[in-house]
Amino acid sequence: MQSDLIAEVEETLKRIQSQKGVQGIIIINAEGIPIKSTLDNSSTVQYAGLLHQLVMKTRSTVRDLDPQNDLTFLRVRSKKNEIMIAPDKDYFLIVIQNPSD
């Protein structure tokens, strides 16, 4: 049963990873500690720390503006790549993609 779930999660991650241009995927828990990542450790930790704060800030902004509202998806587009974050109650999923590849 557990292994099934693990396999499902892995499968989902593989599907995202296989998309063209995806550079890395990170799953972090609510505190910002990375659970799973396809990047190396130092990058993972850096991304997790910085993006966790960003998501908290964004979420509080959205909720301040309208308490009934909530953040569903966050896309940060930069010169070189795009970082996409899907927040949840307990976890965050971060995907870094380079669209021009």
Partner 1 sequence: MVAQRPKSTSSGKSSKGGEKAKGPDPSLSHTDVLPDVPEDIFPMVLTSATQELFECRADEDVTQNNPYKLLKKDDILHDMKARAAVSDFHPVKQTVLNYPGEELLLVFDRDFKYGQSFYLVLTEEAKQRILQPPVSTDEEEPEEESEQYVCRTPEPQQPWVSLGSELEIEEESVKDTRERLKYLVSRVRKKFGAPVNFTDRNALESKEGYIECTSYQDRNFRLIQMERNSATQAVLNLKSSATQTQRTFPRNMYTQYKPRELTEEEKENYMSSENLKNFASSAFSRFEIAIQQNKIMDVFFDDWQALSEGDIAFGGKADTYLKEYQSFTDLQFSKDKSISCIKWHPTISGVIAVSVTEKMSFEERINGSTKLLLNPPLILFWSFSDPINPQLRLECPDDVLSFDFCPSDPNIIIGGCMNGQIVLWDVTAHAQRLHGKRSGERRTTSAYPGSFMAFEEDKENEIPVLLYCAVSSIENGHKAPVTDVQWLPENFEISITGVPVENQNQICVQVVTCAPDCCVMFWDIRAPRPAAHSQAERKQKMEEKQLENPRGIPNTFKYLDLSWKPLIKVMLPKTDASGEYSPLKFSLRDNIHCSRPRSGKDKSVKTTDRPEGKVEYALLRVPSEKQLKPLEDISTMFCVGTEDGELVYTSWKLGKDDDSGRLLSGKPSRCFIVHDSLVNTVKRSPFFKDIILTVGGWNFAVWKESVMNGPIILSPCSQKRCMVGCWSLSNPGMFFIGKEDGNIEVWDLLEKTHEPSHIQNISTASITCMKPWIISSKQHFLAVSDDFGTLHILQIPWTLRNPSSSESSVNKYFEKEVTRLMFFDKRKETMAKQKTATEAEEQKKKTELLVPEKLSEKTEEESLAEYESYLTLEKDILKEMGVSLQEEDKPSNEV
- Interface residues toward partner 1, by CB under 8 A: 2-3, 5-6, 8-9, 12-13, 15-16, 19-22, 27, 29, 31-36, 45, 48-49, 72-73, 75, 77, 79, 82, 84, 86, 88, 90-91, 93, 95, 97, 99-100
Which tokens hold the place of 26?
A: 């990170």
Amino acid at 18: S
Output the smallest distance, CB 52 to partner 1, in A. Answer: 11
Across 45-68, b (16+ Cβ under 10 Å) vs e yields: bebbeebbeebeeebeeeeeeeee
Output the smallest distance, CB 100 to partner 1, in A. Answer: 5
Name which of 2 and 68 has its Cβ closer to partner 1: 2
Which tokens hold the place of 77?
A: 């587009």
